Amino acid sequence: MASEKNNHHRSIPDINGTHPTPKKPKLSSSSNFITASEIQSEFSHHDSAVSRINNGSFGSCPSSILSAQQQWQLKYLRQPDHFYFNHLKPAINNSRSIIQNLVNAKDINEISIVDNATTAAAIVLQHTAWCFREGKFNKGDVVVMLHYAYGAVKKSMEAYVTRAGGKVIEVPLPFPVSSNDEIVTEFRKALEKGKVDGKKIRLAVIDHVTSMPCVVIPVKELIQICREEGVEQVFVDAAHSIGCTDVDMQDIGADFYTTNLHKWFFCPPSIAFLYTKKNPKTGGGGDLHHPVVSHEYGNGLAVESAWIGTRDYSAQLVVPEALEFVNRLEGGIEGIKKRNHEAVIEMGEMLVKAWGTHLGSPKHMCASMVMVGLPTCFGVRSDSDALTLRTHLRDVFGVEVPIYYRPPRDGEVDPVTGYARIFYQVYNKVEDYYKFRDAVNQLVDNGFACTLLSK
């Protein structure tokens, strides 16, 4: 592993009496844009020996925001009672207010900050379970989700929905995929299945960007279909989206929406928000609760989530700094999204050309990531093979990239069964992808196959 960077700014200073104030977001003029070398410096804590093309799994956080976070941590540690009584709530509300504006939510009460999308899923699905238990929903009523839904969300479905008597229907998705229509068709079929025997579809859980394989789903269109077909509520699991796709609550029109800010919005681990659309009739947000119940139970999800017992809430407090960082890049978040998208497509095309394979989806179904087919000679035949290959790439070549096993379909000849999921974030360089290209080429030349590594 690379030697630890000299992060002297992360040592704890002696502070007596001074109150560190978080920076206020500044307006950038063109001359204030962050330079390429400043970007590298901001991410200098990344292991320089690794081609880190997996921003999507764990995200990334620039040094200046880590420092800002540390200031908040120290402020708390200095005098925690004072912090709890006087600083914590206003700081969380400040973050919520910025998020509200960023995502075009009408009311700040629609924005709750939670740890991650996994927690948001537990909140929404626990509510669904309650509805089944209380008899609001009938046993056998349906919750629809995508087959490629995140593993944790599937488990949450099992723990909360199936257990409470709900029926879960998965929408199979084609992969590789070539158009939104393919997804729409499967979705409609699943809804039909759900309405069989007079059952109601109480909830549709739709990924904005699926995790593995990674594809941008036409959520707006699917939500439109849900409304037409009488699906009661829609929950969009947009774990990747803020900083990666468009996030406009009015435009998307979901009832519940969650995204992580530590993946593509430069926040430290970990912070996400859950948007709960205010019901125009009842004025309420659907009576959701945080599963870790504390003093604020019953005061609304946002307030409940802002205190779930003593913890380090500092990651939730640096949203202002994250926005400031974003605005140091030309075009702000829009500029970043655009450049990331163009770069990852360019890199993806470079790779498939070098390997003679193909992309997993067309450009318009990618955001800051794309699935890249791997040479078939690798013989990826299982999830275990995929993980083995991933480990091999990390350990031997210093390339960090998730590998996906795509089971072949009947009748396919010499199918591509292994895909790499590559991302592009502001700290990435072309060299990262050349290194990956060359690693794969070398493996091909050496006659590599996954079976050779299996135990």
Partner 1 sequence: MDNHDDPRNGTVQPDSKKPKLTHPISSHELLHEFSHHQTAVARINNGSFGSCPRSILTAQTTWQLRFLQQPDDFFFNTLRNGILDSRKIIKNLINADDVEEISLIDNATTAAAIVLQQIGHHFSSGKFCRNDTVIIFHCAYQAVKKSIEAYVIPVGGSVIEVELPFPVNSNEEIIAEFKKGIERGKINGGRVRLAIIDHITSMPSVVIPVRELIRVCRENEVDQVFVDGAHALGSMEVDVKEIGADFYVSNLYKWFFSPPSVAFMYCNKNKKLNDVHHPVVAHEYGNGLPAESAWVGMRDYSPQLVVPSIMEFVNRFEGGIEGIMKRNHNMVVKMGVMLKEAWGTNLGSPPEMCASMIMIGLPSKIRVMSDDDALRLRFYLRVYHAIEVPVYYQALGNGERDARDKDGFITGYVRISHQVYNIVDDYNRLKTAIIQLLQDGKICSELPKE
Residue closer to partner 1, measured from CB, 15 or 108: 15
Q: How far is the CB of 52 from partner 1 (least distance, A)?
A: 7
Considering the rule CB under 8 A, would residue 428 count as an interface residue with partner 1?
no
Q: How far is the CB of 8 from partner 1 (least distance, A)?
A: 12
- DSSP secondary structure letter of residue 242: B
Among 42, 110, 115, 141, the residue binding partner 1 under the rule CB under 8 A is 115
Among 9, 15, 284, 334, the residue binding partner 1 under the rule CB under 8 A is 15
Instruction: For 123, list phi and psi in degrees, rounded to 5.
Output: -65, -50
Contact (CB, 8 A) for 110 and 278 = yes
Q: How far is the CB of 374 from partner 1 (least distance, A)?
A: 18
Considering the rule CB under 8 A, would residue 444 count as an interface residue with partner 1?
no
**Residues in 154-213 that interact with partner 1 by CB under 8 A:** 155-156, 158-160
CA dist 144 to 133, 259, 275, 337, 438, Å? 18, 19, 20, 30, 42
Grouping H, G, I as helix, E, B as strand and the rest as coil, residue 300 is coil
Grouping H, G, I as helix, E, B as strand and the rest as coil, residue 359 is strand
Considering the rule CB under 8 A, would residue 442 count as an interface residue with partner 1?
no
Helix extents (H) in 13-102: 36-42, 55-58, 63-78, 80-86, 88-102
Residues paired with residue 93 on neighbouring β-strands, in sequence order? none
Residue at 345: amino acid letter:
I
Q: How far is CA 284 from the centre of its chain?
A: 27
Considering the rule CB under 8 A, would residue 453 count as an interface residue with partner 1?
no
- DSSP secondary structure letter of residue 216: B
Among 6, 8, 14, 35, the residue binding partner 1 under the rule CB under 8 A is 14
Residues with Cβ within 8 Å of 342's Cβ and at least 6 positions away in sequence, in order, are none
Distance in angstroms (rounded) separating the CA atoms of residues 181 and 177: 10
Q: How far is the CB of 353 from partner 1 (least distance, A)?
A: 26
Q: How far is the CB of 416 from partner 1 (least distance, A)?
A: 23
**Residues in 274-293 that interact with partner 1 by CB under 8 A:** 289, 291-293
Q: How far is the CB of 320 from partner 1 (least distance, A)?
A: 19
- Token pair for residue 256? 């519940």
Among 213, 243, 268, 360, the residue binding partner 1 under the rule CB under 8 A is 268
Residue closer to partner 1, measured from CB, 391 or 451: 391
Task: Using DSSP bridges, classify how beta strands 167-171 and 201-207 pair: parallel, antiparallel or unpaired.
Answer: unpaired
Distance in angstroms (rounded) separating the CA atoms of residues 208 and 206: 6
Among 95, 109, 116, 210, the residue binding partner 1 under the rule CB under 8 A is 116
**Residues in 60-99 that interact with partner 1 by CB under 8 A:** 61, 66, 74, 76-82, 84-85
Per-residue contact track with partner 1, 287 to 326, x per CB under 8 A? Answer: --x-xxxxx-xx---------xxxxx--x-----------
Considering the rule CB under 8 A, would residue 449 count as an interface residue with partner 1?
no
Per-residue contact track with partner 1, 357 to 376, x per CB under 8 A? Answer: --------------------
Residue closer to partner 1, measured from CB, 289 or 381: 289
**Residues in 118-147 that interact with partner 1 by CB under 8 A:** 118-119, 121-122, 125-126, 130, 133-134
Distance in angstroms (rounded) separating the CA atoms of residues 342 and 369: 10
Among 9, 10, 26, 139, the residue binding partner 1 under the rule CB under 8 A is 10
Residue closer to partner 1, measured from CB, 125 or 177: 125
159, burial (CB in 10 Å: exposed 0-12, middle 13-18, buried 19+): middle
**Residues in 206-265 that interact with partner 1 by CB under 8 A:** 260, 262
Distance in angstroms (rounded) separating the CA atoms of residues 218 and 223: 9
Contact (CB, 8 A) for 323 and 336 = no
Give the end-to-end CA distance of the chain in Å, rounded to a whole number: 25
Q: Which of 433, 412, 434 is closest to 424 using CA atoms?
A: 433
The residue count for binding partner 1 (CB under 8 A) is 74
Considering the rule CB under 8 A, would residue 57 count as an interface residue with partner 1?
yes
Q: How far is the CB of 174 from partner 1 (least distance, A)?
A: 25
Q: How far is the CB of 50 from partner 1 (least distance, A)?
A: 6
Count the residues in the chain.
455
